[in-house]
Structure 1
Amino acid sequence: MGKVLCFGEILLRYSMGENFPQEQDLNSYIGGAESNVAMALAKWDIPVRYCTAMPDNFLSDKIISFYNEKGIDTSSIVKSGERIGSYYLNQGADVKNAGVIYDRNYSSFSDLTSSSLNWDEIFKDVTWFHFTAISPALNARVASICEEALIVASNKGITISLDLNFREKLWKYGSEPIAVMPKLAKYANVIMGNIWAADKMLGIRICTQVTDNATDAQLVEQGEISSKAILNQYPNCHTVANTFRFSEGQGVKYFTTLYQENHFYKSKTLYTMKTIDKVGTGDCFMAGLIYGITTKEQPQKILDFATRAAFQKLFLKGDSTNSKSEEIKKLIHQDE
C-alpha cells in the first residue's frame, strides 16, 4: 500500500494543573486532530505523511525531528508564517468543553495559501487522504485549500476520509458548517463522526424521539438511519462510522457503530469509572478505521479495533495514543 496523508493544523495544547498558578504546573502536548491520527498510524506501522504549516524556527525543527523519530514522513510540512496555533484545556476535560480556549488566529496553518502547496508532489505515493472538519472551520481560504486538495485526490483515485469534528468556537468567519461541509463531504469515501455532527454539518436530521434522554437502542437506531442517509446523499461514500461517548458521573460510557457493504455493526459498550485524558479519543478511533480498512480486516474487526483503541486512549496522557496495535488486539481478546 501507499502512504496515508494527513492534512491539518498542528497545535500545542496547554493544560493547567489543579494548583495553577500557585504551582506553575502548565504542561504542553503536541496535538491537532490530523497529527493525532498520523501519530497513531505510525505507531501501528502504517506508512503515513503529515502535511501542515509551521514557522521556520527552532521549535518547529524540534517538533519535526520528533515526528521523524516516530516514523512520520514530514517532507510535505510547509515552513511559513510566524507561529504555531495552540489551545488551553484543563487536564482531563473534553475538547468540546465550554472552557476550551483557542489561540489559532494568524497561525502558520491558518495563513496558508494555495501557492504554498504543490498537491501533485504532496500526493506522491499516497493512496489515502485524511482531513477533518476542523480545517475548513478556520477561515474561507483554508476551506478552499481543502477543496483543492480533495479535487486532486479524487482525480488521482485516492481514498478520502473525513472526520466531522464540530468545534463551535472555530466557525466564526461568517459561514455556517452546513454551507461549507456538504461540498467537501461529497468527495469522501469514509465519513466518521456522530449523529449530532451529521445533523449540524451535513443536514442529516435526527428523529424527534432521539432526545437527551434517548436510550442506547434509540441512539443505535439513529446511527443506522443517519449512516444510510449519508450514503444516499453522498454516492462516493462507502463507509460511515459513529461514536457515542457519554459522561456518567466521574466515568465514561462508550460505544460505536459502523455501516459498510449494506450491513450495520455495533461495538461492545465499554465503561470506565476513571479517565486520564479525553482529548484525542475520536482521532484514535479514526486512525483505527483507517488501520482496519487498509489492512483489509472484516467490518466487525475494523470496528472493534477502532473502538478499543479509542477507549484505551482515555487512560493515556497527551493528545495522541502510544498504544501498539498488538496491545489493543490483546485487550479485545480480553473483552471477549
Structure 2
Amino acid sequence: MTVTPAQEQRTTTTKYAPASVEVDTSVRHRSVEVHQSVLLTSSYNTSLATSVLDHRHENGRRYHKFRDWSYLLPNDESEINRLGMVHELCLLLRHRKLDLAPIKNPQRVTDLATGTGIWAIDFADQHPDAEWAPALPNVKFLVDDIESEWAYESNLFDFVHARNLTVSIKDFPKLIKQCYRSIKPGGWVEFQDFDGYPHSEDGSIEGTAILRYYNEVYSIFEKAGYETRPGIKLEQWFKDAGFVNIHMENLSFRPASGQRINIWSAFFPVFSKEQPSIDHVAQKRIGARALAQAEEYAFERYALAPLTRYKQWTKEEVMDLARRELTAEGATFTWNSTCEYHRS
C-alpha cells in the first residue's frame, strides 16, 4: 500500500514496538511503501486498507477517495516531489533542526499528518532507541483520520509533532486537546504552521494578482470549514487545551520588494534568542527553494480542486490565475510562520 500526501492530514506517524516492520529504503526516494500489517488491527482500520488505495483522477492530478472530497489537495508524484522540497525548505529555515522542543531521549513519538513520512524517518534516524509508528525498524505508518476520536490510551507519547496543517484541518482546538490527552506528563507537543494569507503593512498588496489568488482559493477552504490561518491562533488554542511552558517563535519571509516572486530574496529576522540569524547566502538558498516548490507545484496544488469543484472554473482558468500569482509588481508583503512547542 502507498501512503501518499493526500492523506497528509489523515495519516499519523506513531512510535510503537519495532518488531514487525522491515526497513523500507524507498522512503529515501519519497515513495513510502507500507505493508498492510502496519495498520491498526481494529476492524475500522482494517477496512481502511482498501479504501486508501482508491484514487480520483481529474484535471491531470490524482486525489485520494478516502472520505471523498474531505481533502482537497493532490497526492500524486508531483505532490510527493513538492513535499520533499518543502521538507528541505523547513530544515533551512530551522538551521537543519527537525524540531525545536527541548526533548530528551523520547521513547514514544507521533508525527501527525506525516505525508510522505520524510520528517518521521529523519527523526527516527536521530533517535534510534525510540519506538515509532512510520518504515525503519523502529517506525511504522498508521492510516486514520486525526480529526476523529483517537483510540490511543492517555499519557502515551513523549513527543507529538505536526507541521504545515493549514487548509487540512477543520477543528484545531479539538485536535490539540487530543494531543494534550495523549501526551505523558512533562512531554512536549510541537506545531509548526503559518498564516496562509500574505501580509502587507503598507497596503501595497491590494489589487494585485497574488491577493486575488488567496482570496479566491482560501475563501473556498474557509466555506468548507478548513482553517487557513492557524499560525496566528496556535498560542491561544494551546492555552485553552491546558498546556504550560508555551514557547512561540515567529519568522517572516518575503520576495524582494516590488519584484516577481521568481527572483525571491528571502528576508528572515532573528526569530528567537536561541536561533542565530540567517546569513545572506542562506537567504538566497531558501528563496530559491521557496520559488521552486511554489512556481512548479504549489499555486496549482492549492487552487485546482477547490476552484474546479466548487466554482466550476476550467483547468485553464486556474492555471492562468496560478501563473499571474507570480507577479506582484510594486507590492511589499510577507508570509508569517509560527513554531510553538508546549509542555503538558
> Taking structure 2 as the reference length, what is the TM-score of the superposition?
0.33
> Taking structure 1 as the reference length, what is the TM-score of the superposition?
0.34
Structure of higher RCO (CA pairs closer than 8 Å, 6+ residues apart): 2
When you count strand as a share of all residues, which structure comes out higher?
1
